[in-house]
Chains A and B, each alone.
Chain A
Amino acid sequence: QKEVEQNSGPLSVPEGAIASLNCTYSDRVSQSFFWYRQYSGKSPELIMSIYSNGDKEDGRFTAQLNKASQYVSLLIRDSQPSDSATYLCAVIVGGGSNYKLTFGKGTLLTVNP
């Protein structure tokens, strides 16, 4: 089983809709979870971090974490064409000082005007 799994997409939504991006992870002791956005030809940009079960909101973005189900998601409300990018889910795997940030393959999101 892969450590971090995402639907590769592409996910296509109309402008103004809610985009829902999902991610599952295999390491039950993981405590730190991140969403990055990567535009074509650019480097990943951190958009959200979440460490506790529940929801965390930042502007149009909401991250949701369910450690019991080993599931983390990102909701983008009022999607804009500028949100079109690949979204990478990342999880800290390992513990103490022996850890690594492990990425899913990413979900390509297209927001259609």
Chain B
Amino acid sequence: GAVVSQHPSWVICKSGTSVKIECRSLDFQATTMFWYRQFPKQSLMLMATSNEGSKATYEQGVEKDKFLINHASLTLSTLTVTSAHPEDSSFYICSAASEQGGSEAFFGQGTRLTVV
């Protein structure tokens, strides 16, 4: 299957700082990228969907100003957690899909964010 690279795999930051997570599709053009948040032993909660060159579509209850998503190219999307607080600590996963490649989405390795 296609490869999606997510970086960093883990990050620790101080409360009040911002953290950027990158999601890259390495061997295909991702027309759509999804950002999920996963709490321990729980499911993936869809946070937002981004399409290249367009503003991200956020799910209800997700703060747009807190979780900034940029999808500047067909191979790169970024999630920036602004003014991070301990309650933002979580596992964040991105996935990428190409309509030319079929219906499935390919996942990054995930990022463990810890805010101290």
Partners in one complex: no
